[in-house]
């Protein structure tokens, strides 16, 4: 996968792209990520990228020509899917991450959020993507969120492919709880089945624990989740045992 990031703050990406899974993936040639300074596509001495809005009003608007030039330069050698990070975009979720990960080359446009001339969208943007219904000051953090989610889809980036498949949302369910040493923390023990060494039992426990976690934390997901027969039975049991709203949050009781 090849990503080009266009931003006026390239320095924000340095440690992020050099660290942990993404740093290793880049070293191993699994991911190519290039960060370009939008100001390099300006033509004036002061490298200006914004101007006052036509029609008046507060704030500044990012001007179209540097963006158009920068995107065209970034796609001159090979075409790419061009994504503008914006709160007006399609909300990022697992399905969209997988759609975008299927593309070989992406250009990510990180605008500062006072606004960007509409003609950038009309000429050099294929899709707008939002990371949630709130406004950040720019697209840089959303781009990092997207890059991290995308990189996990690239074969070989995450060592254990099963942990990607098991990730929350792949099946439409949240992940099951995890435990590691020590065996007792603040008087709380690890579920005994996890110490049993019986892998089939452990797998079954995890399957049902995922349903219980989803029921408790994100019951809205259960409407469309793909459930096994055992998971459906567990859901019915939860419904019978604690059908009231309070029971969905047992930690709130007592
Ligand atoms: N830029 C500013 N806010 C954003 C958001 N919520 N998602 C994507 N890009 C943004």
Nearest CA to ligand 1 atom 4: 87
Mean pLDDT of 211-233: 97
Cβ neighbours for 90, distance < 8 A, ≥ 6 positions apart: 96, 127, 128, 129, 130
- pLDDT tens for 158-185 read 986 666 666 667 789 999 999 999 999 9
- pLDDT tens for 114-147 read 899 999 999 999 999 999 999 999 999 999 999 9
Q: How much distance in Å is there from the Cα of 184 to the middle of ligand 1?
A: 42
Given 37, 73, 167, 207, which residue is catalytic? Answer: 167
Instruction: Tell me: pLDDT of 252 over 70.
Output: no
- Structural domains in the chain? 2-151 (3.40.1280.10), 184-252 (1.10.1270.20)
Question: Residue 176 corresponds to which tokens in the numbers above?
Answer: 């099951």
pTM, whole model, 2 decimals? 0.92
Q: Among 89, 111, 112, 139, which is best to mutate for testing ligand 1, by the most ligand atoms less than 8 A from CB?
A: 139
Q: Helix (H, G, I), strand (E, B), or coil: what is residue 76?
A: coil
Distance between alpha carbon 67 and the CA centroid of its chain, in Å? Answer: 24
Residue 53 Cβ inside 6 Å of ligand 1? The answer reads no
């Amino acid at each position: 996968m090849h990503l080009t990031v266009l931003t006026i703050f390239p320095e924000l990406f340095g440690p992020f792209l050099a660290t942990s899974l993404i740093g290793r993936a880049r070293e191993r040639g699994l991911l190519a990520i290039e960060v370009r300074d939008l100001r390099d596509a300006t033509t004036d001495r002061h490298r200006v990228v914004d101007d006052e809005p036509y029609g008046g009003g507060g704030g500044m608007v990012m001007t179209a020509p540097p963006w158009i030039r920068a995107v065209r330069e970034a796609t001159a050698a090979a075409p790419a899917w061009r994504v503008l990070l914006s709160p007006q975009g399609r909300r990022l979720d697992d399905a969209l991450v997988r759609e975008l990960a299927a593309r070989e080359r992406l250009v990510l446009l990180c605008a500062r959020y006072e606004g960007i001339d509409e003609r950038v969208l009309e000429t050099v943007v294929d899709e707008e993507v939002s990371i949630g219904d709130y406004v950040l000051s720019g697209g840089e953090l959303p781009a990092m969120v997207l890059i991290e989610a995308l990189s996990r889809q690239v074969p070989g980036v995450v060592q254990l492919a099963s942990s990607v498949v098991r990730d929350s949302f792949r099946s439409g369910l949240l992940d099951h709880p995890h435990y590691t040493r020590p065996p007792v923390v603040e008087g709380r023990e690890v579920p005994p089945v996890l110490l049993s060494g019986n892998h089939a039992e452990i797998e079954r426990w995890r399957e049902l624990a995922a349903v219980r976690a989803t029921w408790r934390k994100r019951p809205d997901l259960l409407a469309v989740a793909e459930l096994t027969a055992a998971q459906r039975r567990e859901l019915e049991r939860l419904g019978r045992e604690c059908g009231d709203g309070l029971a969905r949050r047992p930690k709130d009781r007592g």
